[in-house]
Structure 1
Amino acid sequence: MKAMVYQEYGSPDVLQSKEVLKPVPRKNEVLIKIHATTITSADCRLRGLNLPRGFGLISRLIFGITKPRQPILGSELAGEIESIGTGVTKFKVGDPVFAISGFGMAAHAEFKCMPEDGAIALIPTGLSFDEAAALSFGGTTALDFFRRSKLQRGEKLLINGASGSVGSAAVQLARHFGADVTGVCSATNMDLVKSLGARHVIDYTQEDFTRNGETYDLIVDTVGTAPFSRCKNSLKEKGRLLLVLAGLPEMLAIPWVSITSSKKVIAGPAEERSEDLRFLAELAEAGDFKPVIDRCYRLEQIAEAHSYVDTGRKRGNVIIAVDHRR
């Protein structure tokens, strides 16, 4: 099968098309024929090993010291079940599914095996493979952080980076849960963020939300520019700061924040759960959640897609279409 592979860390040019062995499902696995996947900011950070501050050495120990242990990036996928292992009972051949593979990655390829008990769910009626591929990463990340922070109806919430993959999902989910949402983005994306359900939108090039006197029950930082030291005065008493992207210094400061104030910082990797995927599918089918798609590329154009995501101007999700015609 064809896969996009990188053998060294670096610029998008390190990504190359290569023929690799097609995976075979084990007893409790399904083999998915991938029709669509995505490029996330996490894919780009891993490709260049450009991780949050303080995680350089740790990242090399996890992902590969001199070269990547997993040469195929990509964590979101949508497609159809090609074959199943002998013990699989939840899915059948031909089922349209979407999934997120987490640190296992390997979605930038024509086929991928997933455990049937993993983060995988049926694609809801009316959703394309492109849309289904874009449901997982932003949606499951936002859900996990909202769960850990115990988001309540009526709470006042600000999302820094409201037009990206996680941010656009967080705006819609927070609106669904009854929060009063303020989004922070560039002027170009203000109309988009309003259309997703934000009652208030701040252009970060014109206004610093940490200095306008407003306070919030929750602040969600999806882009790594709002550490506690910067936005602590914008949190209400017992307010929570959700650091979707956090460096090691911010992580190490979390216990001190809890000891010295009534406020709380929540960070760390988001848990990926099949029940969250099913919940997102139900919302999408009902029209209450719609993944934002910026651009679409072919699998062979993946280096170009990485270059675009590297600019930091991505709106929502960048899709990679996998064409199985030879």
Structure 2
Amino acid sequence: MSIIPKTMSAVLTTGHGGYEVLEYRNDIEVPIPNSDQVLIKVLGAGINNTDINTRTAWYSKSVKGETNASNSQGEDGDGSWSGEPLEFPIIQGADCYGEIVAVGDNIDAGRIGERVLVRTMQQYAVDYRPYECWTMGSECDGAFAQYMVAFSDESFKIESNWSNAELASIPCAYSTAENLLERSGVKQGEIVLITGASGGVGSAAIQLAKRRGASVVAISSKSKLDLVKEIGANTVVNREDKLTDSIENESIDVVIDLVAGERWGDLLDVLKKGGRYAAAGAIAGPLVELDVRTLYLKDLVLIGCTFQDRKVFENLIGYIERNEITPLVSKTYPLKDIITAQKDFVSKKYVGKLVLLPK
């Protein structure tokens, strides 16, 4: 049985802002699980857009630009996923892979020793009401720490020979990607266009769409075209090129969009009549111009994808345990180097995931 210390290292986010609000400390009290919770020794914590967006308050409606722009910092009042003010300090970290080392009074002690992945978008805390959820690292403390508590019902046992970093790369990005595909009903034989294809969610979506038997057209920067093709994309398009110069109008069944931005209208142009568009990000900017005639004359379906049903995470556990997908980890960092890790993430120079390894 693991010896649980009284204090731990953790990164506190002390408010909305730049990197200056990230405070690495080694004197934070180890949390005690409530009756319905487990205490997890964190073995890996991935870096995600949502960690940075929450810190900078990018979700605020006051923000008009792309996620990495100098003016992308929003206002405090509506800067969270929920639109409600956050109570600082918080421990962020939407990805957690770890080992259960203690359990609450109402949890079977037999869970101690289990290796688990924790669901990022959680329903237990809101009684499984549709389209409501807690986001780990936002509405509750997350994995940028040596230990964290999580609801037992949201901590999924995993049996896999993947490394700690590889398993930690899964929860947020892969559940977002699987949710986009599930909600848009991607099926065998369809042609799927994926934007932001070199990032954590985009690269996951390529694999998961291919697993469903779809053909993938991916959009990426010129420097990453070959790497994105290696992940499994059938066709890769340079994001600097005009989309309709590379892809025929009305040739795509489903668009999986993480980018939005000023070229958003082209995505609807390449959709077939009756096509589906699903979005879970807007890294190039949240404000777009829609020609409503394109929407209704082509009978398009537009789907926003934040809420995730439990089935999405259960799917991922199965895919991992059956080795139906491959982890894509580019680099790992000690927890104390979180600022370096987030700066590398923002630079977009890596394909796949960056992961913190608490010591």
**Scaled by the length of structure 1, what TM-score is found?**
0.87
Aligned-pair CA distance for 1:263: 0.5
Structure 1 position 41 matched with structure 2 position 49: yes
* Deviation readout 1:291-317 (Å, 9 max, x if unpaired): 211111100000111111122334211
Displacement of 1:255: 9.3
Determine the structure 2 residue equivalent to 1:199: 234
**Partner SS for 1:153:** coil
Assess, with a 3 A threshold, how the Cα gap between structure 1 residues 2 and 272 changes in structure 2: closer, same or farther: farther
1:158 to 193, 196, 206: 193
Q: In structure 2, list runs of 5 or more residues that go unmatched.
A: 1-7, 64-73, 122-134
Which residue pairs with 1:69 in the alignment? Answer: 88
Assess, with a 3 A threshold, how the Cα gap between structure 1 residues 141 and 221 changes in structure 2: closer, same or farther.
same
1:216 lines up with 2:248 in the alignment: no
Match among 104, 123, 132 for residue 136 of structure 2? 104
1:267 and 2:274 correspond = no
Segment of structure 1 superposing worse, 129-138 or 172-181: 129-138
Question: Does the 8 A contact of 2:278 with 2:305 survive in 1?
Answer: no
> Alpha carbons of 1:301 and 1:125: their partners in 2 closer, same or farther (altered >3 Å)?
same
Query: For residues 23 and 163 of structure 1, what CA distance do their matches in structure 2 show?
Result: 36
Query: Which residue number in structure 2 is paired with residue 95 of structure 1?
Result: 114
Find out whether 1:124 has 2:143 as its counterpart.
no
Match of residue 312 from structure 2: 276
1:4-83 aligned within 5 A: 4-18=11-25, 19-51=27-59, 56=74, 59-60=78-79, 62=82, 69=88, 71-83=90-102
TM-superposed CA distance for 1:131, in Å, is 0.8
CA distance in structure 1 between the aligned counterparts of 2:292 and 2:31, rounded to whole angstroms: 43
Task: Normalising by structure 2, report the TM-score.
Answer: 0.80
Q: Which of 1 and 2 has higher RCO (CA within 8 Å, sep 6+)?
A: 1
**2:177 — aligned with what?**
142
For 1:95 and 1:74, how far apart are their aligned partners in 2?
A: 20
Q: Contact 1:145–1:270 (CA<8 Å) still a contact in 2?
A: no
> For each residue in 1:36-64, what CA deviation from the matched residue of structure 2 results, as whole angstroms up to 9, or x when unmatched?
10111111122222337656456337577
Q: Match for 2:30: what amino acid?
A: K
2:348 to 312, 317, 322: 312
Alpha carbons 1:228, 1:241 under 8 Å: kept: no
Aligned length: 318
Do the aligned residues in 1 keep the contact of 2:54 with 2:79 (CA within 8 Å)?
Answer: no
Instruction: Give me the identity figure in percent.
Output: 26
Tell me the C-alpha RMSD between the 2 structures.
2.7
Comparing 50-59 with 147-156, which one deviates more in the overlay?
50-59
2:246 is aligned with what amino acid?
N
CA contact (8 A) 1:221 1:245 kept: yes
